[in-house]
A and B are shown apart, each in its own frame.
Chain A
């Protein structure tokens, strides 16, 4: 049994910042991360065992990462028994439960043998991050269609280019680094199809101006789009993907002001071998719901954790930072991680700087205003179901089609996402609805109706947060066994 003052889950911007700050305040910290090296999805980078001079290529806020990494390594080798970090890389938390005055985390190795099956800690900072939100499109199950974040991960960590002729489609500012990253790596990007229109930004200039560094980024991207002659097409969507065994072409369409597909505009197909899709992000909420923390639906219709202005959830000892409190990007996540660590340190009786707390709280409030403006400018278009067909795959794991979901609603009377899931099986496969959950929840409701916590919370609740072997299940001690 291992005892820590604090367990931090996730070593991306929020988790790294939280772990380092907490250890610097004297806490003994376990930092659990699925990656083989810290950085999370945002700072995914080449294997540090094989160092490269261009390690930071294509990265943003890279000096923030190298600073946090240096502090982490210093704290890993600290001689003191307090103020230390034990980094548990390559492990996922598959189960979390209350244990005495704190929490017990059950771990499983992402691949290979599990080195540390259980961690017990007095408090918990959950920084699980998120992944690209997806919407079904006819043909999206063909090889060559990828999540934008997956394309980016191949570039940043492996220097692999997922295709030669690409279209990057969906909505949101994340499409820009993916498209320019592909172009810089030598791929031809035939278009960015952005479903939104940037007029949404102009309507709320105060919110958009809240984070000045974002305006600088936009200028840099504009220059890169011009350099690589990448057309940025607004109110444009990929409506179908064509090919036999892999992507060969896509159909595109134009949206009207209300986000519905225009039938009076016909655009030529694009010949591509790669489609990178991103419709914003879905935060990972399974560990948050597992500890019993309450949730809400954010501006972008994502389920997120309720936190106070110290990053505390309503479960004593459990804090959340980063995308799981609302998708808002790395800068905000770093600030939230630091604040969560200050809160945990203070709640553990350590002195913290009140000035730092106030500075972080102001920065987070600004970041939240910016994030809300971004979400309003880049909504999932109202007409996203216009281009689906009855045979369109909705759940990639169980290969459930739209027609089967419609049957469950119409013939079997399913009126909520959970019942549709039980009858037609969307979200019952390996990924447990992480990919299709948003779309399946929307399809279970009348068109245009907003999602509520009661639609999303049951879908985010997963008995196990990661797949585990029967052997792990059979041998795992639990608190109710009284085993230690």
Chain B
């Protein structure tokens, strides 16, 4: 049996299997979008699922713009939805 961890998404408690990604945990909880786009305000969630497209950006424990498909869940983790925040340098 796999271990369960507890986390919150916008304050709502969800559970996940230890070792899952944040994106998988949200998917299993029936949550399919967690940010809105800058221009059109459209909902986005997982797309490429492997760290390439950056559609699934989410705030993890206060750290913005983390790829939900790559970050593993951790017990007590706080996830927050939101828009894209421009804080990183890009090529």
Contacts and interface: CB of A to CB of B under 8 A. Distances in A.
B3 A245 contact: no
B53 A470 contact: no
Contact of A467 (B37, B60, B70, B88): B88
Contacts of B37: 399
B55 A434 contact: no
A157 interface: yes
B45 to A, nearest CB: 4
Given A143-B33, A144-B32, A159-B17, A467 B89 contact: yes
A153 B43 contact: no
Contacts of A152: 49
A429 B60 CA distance: 21
Contacts of A34: 51, 70
A110 B51 CA distance: 9
A462 B40 CA distance: 26
Interface of A is mostly: loop
A302 to B, nearest CB: 15
B42 A141 contact: yes
B85 to A, nearest CB: 11
Nearest to B34: A143
B53 A434 contact: yes
A480 interface: no
Contacts of B40: 399
A150 interface: yes
B18 A50 contact: yes
Contact of A146 (B33, B46, B72, B87): B46
Contacts of B49: 146-147, 149-154
Chain B interface residue bracket vs A: 35 or more
A437 to B, nearest CB: 11
B28 interface: yes
B47 A50 contact: no
A162 interface: yes
Interface string B18-57: 1111011001100011000111101111111111111101
A84 B23 CA distance: 35
Interface secondary structure of B, over-half rule:
loop
A468 B88 contact: yes
A154 B48 contact: no
Interface in A402-454: 429-432, 434-435
B48 A50 contact: no
B11 interface: no
Nearest to A131: B52
A153 B52 contact: no
A143 B44 contact: yes
A49 B18 CA distance: 9
29 contacts: A41-B50, A47-B18, A47-B19, A47-B20, A49-B18, A50-B17, A50-B19, A111-B60, A111-B71, A141-B42, A143-B45, A144-B32, A147-B47, A147-B50, A149-B48, A150-B48, A150-B69, A153-B49, A154-B23, A154-B49, A159-B17, A246-B32, A396-B55, A430-B54, A430-B84, A431-B53, A431-B54, A432-B91, A464-B90
Contacts of A398: 39
A172 interface: no
B50 A131 contact: yes
Contact of B90 (A41, A132, A396, A432): A432
Contacts of B43: 142-143, 245-246
A27 B61 CA distance: 41
